[in-house]
Amino acid sequence: MRNRLFAWLICLVLTATGGCGKSDRFDTAQTSAPEKQETGAKEPVFRFGIGFSGDGYAVFLKDWKEKVFQETGGDVELELFGGNILGAGSAMCRAVQKGTLTVVASSTSATTDIVPEAAIMDIPGCFPAYSVPHRVYSGEFFEKLNEFYEAQGLELLGLRTGEPWIISSGRKTERLSELRGMTVRTSGSRWHNRLYDALGMKRVEDISLGGLTYLLDDGKVDGIETTYEILRTQGLVEKQPYGLNVPFFHMSSSITMNLEAYESLPDEYRKVLKNTLLELMTKEEERMAETVPDGMEFVSFGREDMETLKEAAEPIRKEILDLVDEELKEAFLKENAGRE
């Protein structure tokens, strides 16, 4: 029974993702929207699968799915596959590049093995010119970064930074030195890990959010690299009531699509995908910026600890900038400063 259920699930995923999103029901050279049927229900012309991990994406992507369906007259349908059912973020990004999945919602860190330039979003938060919370990108920087995505067979549909990443714990931590020897479940970003290693922290990776409750109960993990929203949606605030309000990094996420599937769409529907996503991302970040964390106590570092943190983070900033095209860096700084 279990094998039959698993086989059914795989068939469902392959049907929904449709490889690169192609169908024998439409011509990939088509450049204008197909005519709508005037009567009766109809099947979508384009059906694309979206993989994502954390529950924080679920409501947002459901809203996007509904708006896309409405604004394309039912011609484009998005199928959601969450809870890491299709693998971790980096694996889903690879699947999108290969065309076995059409769209992925993930941290930008998950794409850096494919698009190294995306690491610019991982510059530590103690360098505020490069790391701004609650920003949705749609201008020159977005377009320039997308050129690097396109070179790898991907299309960047949406890009944003959100909350600060925090280190949560079950006990109050007030000094940087107290992090040394602390066992923390990290997000898996190699740039994040480099900083935490420099600070003497012990890392646990590849643990799903759903498995954290058991690790915390068993005392195998002291803290989590997380955001307040992740803790809230996973029901972990009571187990991790303390957080360091320190700019280690800011959460950055992207919605990425297989380029061939994107180019198979009429121009009108490409605009629908990006414009509806931009609208929803902007509203989401406005909401998040106004959210007041409830049930947690946050601690900030003093000047001495902040200087030590910045010193530890400087080699990471430099290495990332060495990877980045000069024009991309300038566009990033310009947009973060609020200049058009």
Where does the pLDDT of residue 206 fall: very low under 50, low under 70, confident under 90, or very high at 90 and above?
A: low
Residue 221: predicted pLDDT: 83
- What mean pLDDT is reported for the chain? 83
Summarised one tens digit per residue, pLDDT across range 272-311 is 999 999 999 999 889 888 887 888 999 888 999 999 999 9
**The CATH number of 48-336 is which of 3.10.350.10, 3.20.20.100, 3.30.360.10, 3.40.190.170?**
3.40.190.170
Question: 24 pLDDT band (50/70/90 cuts)?
Answer: very low
DSSP category for residue 29: T
What average pLDDT does the segment 246-254 reach?
89
Model confidence band, residue 27 (pLDDT cutoffs 50, 70, 90):
very low
Dist CA 273 CA 64 (whole Å): 8
Question: Encoding tokens for residue 336?
Answer: 């973060």
| Residue 45 pLDDT greater than 80, yes or no | yes
Q: How far apart are CA 208 and CA 141, in angstroms?
A: 32
Statement: residue 197 has pLDDT above 90: yes
Sign of CA dihedral 220, 223, 227, 231: positive
Rounded to whole angstroms, how far apart are CA atoms 333 and 213? 39
* Average pLDDT for 224-236: 85
The confidence score (pLDDT) of residue 72 equals 94
Please report the pLDDT score of residue 70 as a whole number.
94
Least confident of 24-38, 187-201, 244-258: 24-38
Q: Which residue has the higher pLDDT, 168 or 41?
A: 168
Give the whole-angstrom CA distance, residue 187 versus residue 233: 16
Please check whether residue 62 is in contact with residue 32, taking contact to mean a CB–CB distance below 8 angstroms. Answer: no
Give the pLDDT of residue 293: 83
Query: What is the secondary structure of 179-208 as a DSSP string?
Result: GTT-EEE----HHHHHHHHHTT-EEE-S--
Between 77 and 60, where is the model more confident? 77
**Cβ count within 10 A of residue 32:** 9
- DSSP state, residue 130: T
Task: Specify the pTM.
Answer: 0.81
Spell out the domain ranges in the chain: 48-336
Residue with tokens 């024009």: 327
The reported pLDDT for the residue numbered 209 is 67
Cβ 160 vs Cβ 60: under 8 Å: no
Buried b (16+ CB within 10 A) or exposed e, 165-177: bbbbbeeebeebe
d(CA 306, CA 13): 47
Distances (CA, A) of 211 to 139, 195, 208, 214: 39, 24, 5, 6
pLDDT for the residue 230: 83
Read off the pLDDT of residues 72-122 as tens digits, 9 standing for 90 and up: 999 999 998 877 677 687 888 999 999 999 999 988 988 999 999 999 999
Confirm if 131 and 249 have CB atoms less than 8 A apart: yes
pLDDT value of position 268: 96
